[in-house]
Amino acid sequence: MMNKKAIGAVAVAAAAVLALSACSGGSSEGSAGGDAATGEISYWLWDANQLPAYQQCATDFTKANPDITVKITQTGWDDYWSKLTNGMASGTAPDVFTDHLSKYPDFLKTKQLVPLDDSITVDVSQYNEGLADLWVGQDGKRYGLPKDWDTVALFYNQKMATDAGITPEQMGSLTWNPQDGGTYEKAIARLTVDKNGKRGDEAGFDKNNVAVYGLGLPGSDAENAGQTQWSYLSATTGWTTTDKNPWGTHFNYDDKKLQDTIDWWASLAVKGYMPKLETTVGANAADNFGAGKAAINSNGSWMIGQYTGYKGIDVGIAPTPQGPEGKRASMFNGLADSVWAGTKKKDAAIKWVEYLGSSACQDVVASKAVVFPAITTSSEKAADAFKAKNVDVSAFTQHVTDKTTFMLPITDNASKVAGIMKPAVDAVIAGKSPASSLTAANEQVNALFAK
């Protein structure tokens, strides 16, 4: 009898475990239990450079609200999103987390985010223009409070530029077009040096033995819609990623303007001005720049600290080149903080988000000179903090003041689009397929939205 009981107990326990796991697998969104306004709340972010600033914010926040403490966890970008999704499925996601424009549509679709405007009213005019609108879902509700923004510029090695006879003024007034690459390509060619010391624009240049590439290459960047690598060029031709933004449902990778841009970019590798894609696997483009193997890197403003931190490299920051229509362009991306729908401490979580979105916290972030906070006055303070560190960030900020930014494309199915576009653009940059092959990939992408 004892044995039978024991077996029965094991069976019951097994069934219970099964039932439990089935529950947590399915309906975590419904489990938003408490609205507690006190206790410890968890907060996740991915950028280690920003951790000290937000730790300071958390300390200040607890000082003002002694009954709430904030536990911050930092996880690198590569693991952040799968960890977060698994956490949501298993009921262990953080109460509040740093959210990204390309990711939050999927969370909205599966009802993982708490609409903030049910509980708080925030003056959105304090933020840089457009940032707050990005975090309003298709239902008209707000799912994130803007925390920072970023634009793109050209980091370049000043000594190499001087040696090549290129002045900072010339670097600051580059032009580009998809046909001959304009003065941008001329500068890239001039800055490329082969092993015999011949420059890319000189006779006898050996493109198969290059010592310094004019332009660095981290990868095809198609998984990020070309954010730092080619969107600053394609957008100057008047091309847009989707039919409308946010919430576009039709992609335009079949457009000749985009394909000409990608073809031009891929041609740099053929000419020996940019590394071949196959040599970049496992390499870090920024570190290669730091090692003096590339003269120019296009990258985002969140990378300022890393690029200016390389010992022995005198880094200049130039604005992205002017396009065929005489205008510059930079993707404008903004992060925000969102509250997870499964939180047990909703009121405390929202209070923390409100604090993160206020000038009290964003001024602290500004003072650390790591990123540009979303609040206009705070991002001016950040520019001053960078200046105090002898870094001229006007190449990034002028996109905002000149209104030459365009928003990161916000759509459903972002990860599936990335899964299709990355190998497609890889193949073009690797020289395996012409850019016209992107038309077929574009059809696959648009088919995702057909249902």
Name the site residues for other proteins (rule: CB under 8 A): 3-4, 6-7, 10, 14, 17-18, 25-29, 82, 85-86, 88-89, 106, 109-112, 208, 276-283, 288, 293, 415-416, 419, 422-423, 426-427, 430, 432
Q: Are strands 294-300 and 152-157 parallel, antiparallel or unpaired?
A: antiparallel
Q: How far apart are CB 14 and other proteins at their closest, in Å?
A: 5
Select 81 or 247, whichever has its Cβ closest to other proteins. 81
Select 28 or 151, whichever has its Cβ closest to other proteins. 28
Q: How far apart are CB 309 and other proteins at their closest, in Å?
A: 20
The residue assigned the tokens 């394909």 is 259
Select 220 or 301, whichever has its Cβ closest to other proteins. 220
391: its two tokens:
């870094």
Burial degree of 25 (CB within 10 A; 0-12, 13-18, 19+): exposed
Select 8 or 52, whichever has its Cβ closest to other proteins. 8
The residue assigned the tokens 């001024």 is 363
Q: What are phi and psi of 181, to 5 degrees?
A: 80, -5
Hey, what amino acid is at 59? T
Residue among 189, 160, 187 nearest 270 (CA): 189
Select 8 or 34, whichever has its Cβ closest to other proteins. 8
Bridge partners of 113? 340
Q: How far apart are CB 290 and other proteins at their closest, in Å?
A: 13
CA-to-CA separations, 370 to 123, 309, 367, 383, in angstroms, rounded: 25, 12, 8, 10
Q: How far apart are CB 423 and other proteins at their closest, in Å?
A: 5
Convert 383-442 into a string of H (helix), E (strand) and C (coil). HHHHHHCCCCCHHHHHHHHCCCEEECCCCCCHHHHHHHHHHHHHHHHCCCCCHHHHHHHH
Contacts of 375 (CB under 8 A, 6+ apart): 126, 127, 128, 358, 359, 362
Q: How far apart are CB 27 and other proteins at their closest, in Å?
A: 7
Q: How far apart are CB 60 and other proteins at their closest, in Å?
A: 34
Cα–Cα distance, 185 to 313 (Å, whole number) = 23
Select 307 or 340, whichever has its Cβ closest to other proteins. 340
Select 21 or 162, whichever has its Cβ closest to other proteins. 21
Hey, what amino acid is at 318? A
Q: How far apart are CB 161 and other proteins at their closest, in Å?
A: 23
Q: How far apart are CB 223 and other proteins at their closest, in Å?
A: 10
Select 103 or 257, whichever has its Cβ closest to other proteins. 103
Q: How far apart are CB 307 and other proteins at their closest, in Å?
A: 19
Hey, what amino acid is at 301? S
Cα–Cα distance, 422 to 316 (Å, whole number) = 30
Burial degree of 50 (CB within 10 A; 0-12, 13-18, 19+): buried
Select 133 or 426, whichever has its Cβ closest to other proteins. 426
